[in-house]
């Protein structure tokens, strides 16, 4: 597809998503278009190169997500050896249910390889007798199926709570009345509980299934991502919660229909530590995608988006985080939390190492001093032996501004040492590490980063960076990726178009990541000092920012990437590429340091699942995926 057509269509799609009825029509048209070879290529060109076609995904399912009889026997043998076999209560609300789809949903529970379950269904006052008759017949087929009929329609939350009153299991799972569970779903949950018996909240990956049973649109999720949960329900299906916790929470809350699950997960997470929230990185739930608008959430997207905004807003109030919740995309129910900087604004020290390149430094300094709304600031330019007259003249000019200091640091280029030197002399409470080849797009970029960086749980903050041609340069760092033997890290989605929303909105929503680039990185000085700054001895040039972030995470802090701080980055314009012959030996030594120091961490990025192809950073599924199923290992699936 021509780049201009792809960019224009992608931009138009961004506008269409704001209008749910129009978006639904366009989405249905796309479902028809992709049935042809040219249509698949067109849609994939618009939504991004990572989007596998339905045909490719179904081939992947056949190769990697189809159980054999030997697998089923192994699963049963594994279950027999469990020390604990908790009963899992699957709860369902039914209202005017399609008898065939209801039967399919119930059958998917009855087909579970894990036998210790009960299915609790509440008829939410469906008119007539058809739904209750279907439920009565289904309950007669299996004593583990329990049903209750509500006298009046109360909505999804009330009906689900009625089903919960029937539950007796230690854990409760949620299933919609027209969706399907994979036959291994409850087994995978039980296997995870066998390894992590203290887990309070578990969730899996999911995909869509159409009226003909064809699967598509897989959503392979991150591990628990508290920041992403503020922008979208990143847990969704399949969710399992300890019943005692659910009881303590009072079940689902009324007034949040369409976002009741988002609200529930946020409330549950407030009581469960991250260690007690477990992600099972496999598709265990098939969400019914009708050819017509049918479910509450699809038919009433605006109400659902408003309910999600209320759920997030109340979560922020309960957790004393503050921030105003704004709706970004009603159809997708994407939200933004606009956080305010403290009333007593902290002094921010912006650190810019350089050697000559007056053109780059002048542009960067102009952006900091004249095009940035935030204050108070100080600009520390670390001079690594500049000799060009233009650079020295620029330094003299800049020193006239009381906010600017020039720090002399002659010697071989050592990015880590230069930043450590400036951090030691910085007067600010917050440091911003900034490359000399950065230029600003909007004046509020620093407000956004500081509002995140001052949060007690946040250790470092990264920005959304673009190349000069408006393609993406940085949207967070993924660990353990690259088309090389010794993989360290790579930038997510590098080269994507500026309007690309990313996989499941990952380029449009603030989220937790494992690392961010020091081309633009905000960190409290106390945190920088706590972890010992950058490793100037072993990581002079490459990966010192990744190492810094991993030390910050190891110390218990979160790393946040925000798409709302946008800048241009003319990558390595002043120092050149790590792959140049003169730098290759040094680069390989730094690769070895990272692998020796962080090997196990690099191979298990919690925010980029094991099913993805580690050669890339665009969410292509691996052939095969890097996950061993639990029945084939004794100590877990990862």
Q: Tens digit of pLDDT for each residue in 526-575?
A: 999 999 999 999 999 999 999 999 999 999 999 999 999 999 998 654 45
**Cβ neighbour number for residue 15 with a 10 Å cutoff:** 11
In a domain? residue 338: no
Based on the fold, state whether residues 248 and 149 are members of the same structural domain. Answer: yes
Q: How far is CA 568 from the centre of its chain?
A: 23
In a domain? residue 293: yes
Based on the fold, state whether residues 305 and 414 are members of the same structural domain. Answer: no
Last-in-domain residue among 297, 332, 367: 332
Last-in-domain residue among 302, 332, 362: 332
Name the residue among 65, 115, 59 with its Cα closest to residue 87: 115
Q: Give the Cα separation of 478 and 480 in Å (integer).
A: 7
**Token pair belonging to 394:** 């620029």
N- to C-terminal Cα separation, the chain: 38
pTM, two decimals, is 0.90
**Structural domain tally of the chain?**
3
Q: How far is CA 313 from the centre of its chain?
A: 19
**Token pair belonging to 39:** 């249509």
The Cα angle at residue 579 between residues 465 and 433, in degrees rounded to 5: 35
Based on the fold, state whether residues 12 and 91 are members of the same structural domain. Answer: no
In a domain? residue 397: yes
Based on the fold, state whether residues 91 and 19 are members of the same structural domain. Answer: no
Are 94 and 126 in contact by the 8 Å Cβ rule? The answer is: yes
**Cβ neighbour number for residue 258 with a 10 Å cutoff:** 24
In a domain? residue 190: yes
Q: Give the Cα separation of 206 and 235 in Å (integer).
A: 10
Based on the fold, state whether residues 32 and 77 are members of the same structural domain. Answer: no
In a domain? residue 52: no
Based on the fold, state whether residues 399 and 528 are members of the same structural domain. Answer: yes
Based on the fold, state whether residues 307 and 430 are members of the same structural domain. Answer: no
Q: How far is CA 346 from the centre of its chain?
A: 29
In a domain? residue 320: yes
Q: SS3 of 269, please?
A: helix
DSSP line for 167-199: --SSEEEE--TT-EE-TTHHHHHHHHHHH-TT-
Beta bridge partners of 94: 123
Based on the fold, state whether residues 165 and 309 are members of the same structural domain. Answer: yes
Name the residue among 622, 627, 601 with its Cα closest to residue 480: 601
**pLDDT attached to residue 5:** 53
Q: How far is CA 277 from the centre of its chain?
A: 15
Name the residue among 575, 288, 304, 261 with its Cα closest to residue 414: 575
What values do phi and psi take at 10, rounded to 5? -65, -40
Per DSSP, 257 falls in state: T
Q: Give the Cα separation of 232 and 342 in Å (integer).
A: 26
Q: Give the Cα separation of 479 and 605 in Å (integer).
A: 5
**Cβ neighbour number for residue 137 with a 10 Å cutoff:** 11
Q: What is the CATH number of the domain that holds 451?
A: 3.90.550.60
Based on the fold, state whether residues 25 and 151 are members of the same structural domain. Answer: no
Q: How far is CA 199 from the centre of its chain?
A: 21
Name the residue among 143, 158, 91, 82 with its Cα closest to residue 113: 82
Structural domain boundaries, residue 34: 3-47
Based on the fold, state whether residues 314 and 353 are members of the same structural domain. Answer: no
Ranges in the chain, pLDDT < 50? 1, 3, 6-7, 17-18, 20, 23, 34-35, 37, 40-41, 44, 293-294, 573-574, 635-638
**Token pair belonging to 47:** 């939504």
How buried is residue 77: exposed, middle or buried, by Cβ count under 10 Å (0-12/13-18/19+)? exposed
In a domain? residue 200: yes
In a domain? residue 118: yes
Q: Give the Cα separation of 236 and 562 in Å (integer).
A: 22
Based on the fold, state whether residues 215 and 289 are members of the same structural domain. Answer: yes
Name the residue among 13, 477, 446, 508 with its Cα closest to residue 231: 508
CA torsion angle 385 387 388 391 (round to 10): 50
Are 627 and 638 in contact by the 8 Å Cβ rule? The answer is: yes
Are 6 and 45 in contact by the 8 Å Cβ rule? The answer is: yes
Q: What is the CATH number of the domain that holds 308?
A: 3.90.550.10
Based on the fold, state whether residues 316 and 364 are members of the same structural domain. Answer: no
Last-in-domain residue among 332, 362, 392: 332
**pLDDT attached to residue 50:** 53
């Amino acid at each position: 597809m021509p780049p201009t057509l792809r960019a224009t269509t992608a931009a138009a799609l961004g506008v269409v998503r704001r209008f749910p009825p129009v978006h639904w029509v366009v989405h249905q048209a796309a479902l028809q278009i992709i049935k042809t070879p040219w249509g698949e290529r067109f849609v994939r060109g618009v939504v991004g190169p990572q989007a596998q076609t339905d045909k490719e995904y179904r081939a992947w399912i056949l190769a990697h997500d189809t159980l054999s009889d030997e697998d089923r026997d192994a699963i049963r043998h594994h279950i027999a050896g469990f020390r604990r076999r908790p009963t899992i209560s699957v709860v369902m609300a039914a209202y005017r249910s399609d008898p065939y789809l209801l039967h399919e949903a119930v059958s998917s529970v009855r087909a579970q390889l894990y036998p210790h379950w009960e299915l609790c269904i509440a008829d939410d006052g469906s008119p007539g007798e058809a739904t209750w008759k279907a439920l009565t017949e289904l309950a007669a087929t299996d004593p583990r199926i329990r049903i209750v009929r509500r006298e009046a329609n109360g909505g999804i939350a009330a009906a689900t709570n009625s089903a919960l009153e029937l539950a007796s299991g230690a854990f409760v799972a949620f299933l919609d009345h027209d969706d399907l569970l994979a036959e291994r779903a409850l087994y995978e949950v039980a296997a995870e509980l066998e390894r992590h018996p203290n887990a309070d909240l578990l969730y899996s990956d999911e995909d869509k299934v159409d009226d003909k049973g064809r699967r598509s649109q897989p959503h392979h999720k991150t591990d628990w991502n508290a920041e992403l949960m503020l922008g979208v329900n990143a847990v969704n299906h399949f969710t399992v919660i300890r019943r005692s916790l659910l009881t303590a929470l009072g079940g689902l809350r009324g007034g949040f229909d369409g976002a009741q699950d988002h609200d529930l997960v946020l409330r549950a997470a407030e009581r469960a530590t991250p260690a007690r929230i477990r992600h099972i990185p496999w598709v265990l739930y098939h969400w019914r995608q009708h050819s017509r608008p049918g479910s509450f959430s699809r038919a009433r997207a605006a109400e659902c988006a408003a309910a999600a905004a209320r759920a997030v807003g109340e979560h922020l109030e309960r957790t004393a985080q503050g921030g105003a919740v704004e709706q970004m995309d009603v159809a997708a129910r994407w939200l933004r939390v606009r956080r305010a900087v403290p009333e007593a604004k902290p002094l921010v020290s912006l650190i810019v190492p350089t050697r000559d390149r007056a053109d780059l430094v002048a542009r960067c300094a102009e952006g900091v001093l004249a095009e940035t709304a935030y204050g108070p600031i100080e600009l520390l330019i670390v001079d690594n032996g500049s000799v060009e007259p233009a650079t020295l003249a620029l330094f003299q000019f800049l020193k006239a501004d009381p906010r600017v200091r020039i720090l002399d640091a002659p010697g071989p280029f050592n990015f880590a040492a230069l930043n450590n030197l400036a951090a030691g002399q910085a007067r600010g409470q917050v440091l911003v590490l900034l490359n000399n080849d950065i230029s600003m797009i909007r004046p509020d970029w620093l407000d956004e980063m500081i509002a995140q960086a001052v949060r007690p749980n946040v250790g470092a903050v990264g920005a959304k960076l673009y190349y000069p041609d408006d393609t993406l340069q940085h949207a967070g760092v993924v660990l353990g990726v690259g088309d090389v033997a010794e993989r360290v890290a790579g930038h997510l989605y590098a080269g994507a178009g500026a309007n690309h929303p990313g996989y499941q909105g990952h380029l449009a929503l603030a989220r937790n990541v494992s690392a961010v680039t020091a081309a633009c990185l905000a960190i409290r000085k106390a945190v920088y000092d706590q972890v010992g700054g950058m490793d100037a001895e072993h990581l002079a040039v490459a990966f010192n920012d990744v190492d810094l972030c991993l030390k910050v995470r190891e110390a218990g802090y979160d790393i946040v990437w925000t798409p709302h701080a946008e800048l241009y980055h003319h990558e390595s314009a002043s120092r050149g590429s790590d792959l140049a012959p003169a730098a290759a030996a040094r680069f390989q030594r730094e690769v070895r340091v990272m692998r020796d120091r962080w090997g196990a961490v690099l191979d298990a990025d919690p925010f980029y699942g094991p099913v993805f192809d580690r050669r890339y950073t665009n969410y292509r599924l691996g052939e095969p995926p890097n996950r061993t199923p639990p029945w084939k290992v004794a100590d877990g699936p990862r």
